[in-house]
Structure 1
């Protein structure tokens, strides 16, 4: 089954990152590299990426055939999506086990969600 691990940032996590030395940041990024390597070895990682700052995002809307873009950030919230993993693993419990290895989990900023199988949805009554 496919699961996505969503990694969020907030003012507290950005402040913590900002206080780290270059060496500490390098070690933090090594935790992600080790997680990627382990998930590649197990065949569970389909894809993962870190996302750039929300201020660089664009919201896209189409009105009367015309494309309109708006600069980000968009949500009036403190937390922003910072990255994700797309996994194919045996269970929700396994996905949660993997999510617990994400450094932001210590700050409560990690979410696990099943990926919706559109083929199954189409066949539901």
Structure 2
């Protein structure tokens, strides 16, 4: 089965340090639904843009890499039969109801890295 990355774009992330369960309930419910459909491989939520640090060749700055109305608030990896099935899953993301959007990309390669214990 093919894997797809789903990047979540919204005005900012709801996953601030100290966010309550109510603040992120809709995101958690969506993740539970995708997991129950046996499509979720992994998911990561980023903190709000004011906690971002950007590194460029000229130095390090506070804030997101790109100053845009919408930022990448998180991403998840799903398995789906094809792009149409991945789009159907991604269309249920709560970011769409909040005025944001998602970007779907087929995954070429990669995976979790085994770390040696020290």
TM-score when normalising by structure 1: 0.65
Which aligned pairs between 1:1-125 and structure 2 lie closer than 5 A? 1-10=2-11, 26=22, 29-61=24-56, 68-106=59-97, 107-117=99-109
The alignment's C-alpha RMSD in Å is: 2.9
Instruction: Show structure 1 runs of 5+ residues with no match.
Output: 18-24, 119-125
What whole-Å deviation, never above 9, does each CA across 1:12-70 have from its counterpart, x for those lacking one? xx6xx8xxxxxxx83x743333332232233311111221112211223568xxxx532
Change (3 A) 1:55 1:108: closer
The number of residues matched between the two structures is: 103
Q: Distance in 2 between matches of 1:49 and 1:96?
A: 19
Shift of 1:98: 0.9
Which stretches in structure 2 are left out of the alignment for 5+ residues?
Answer: 15-20, 111-118
Q: Which has the larger Rg?
A: 1
More displaced stretch, 28-37 vs 75-84: 28-37
C-alpha contact 1:99 1:105 (8 A) present in aligned 2: no
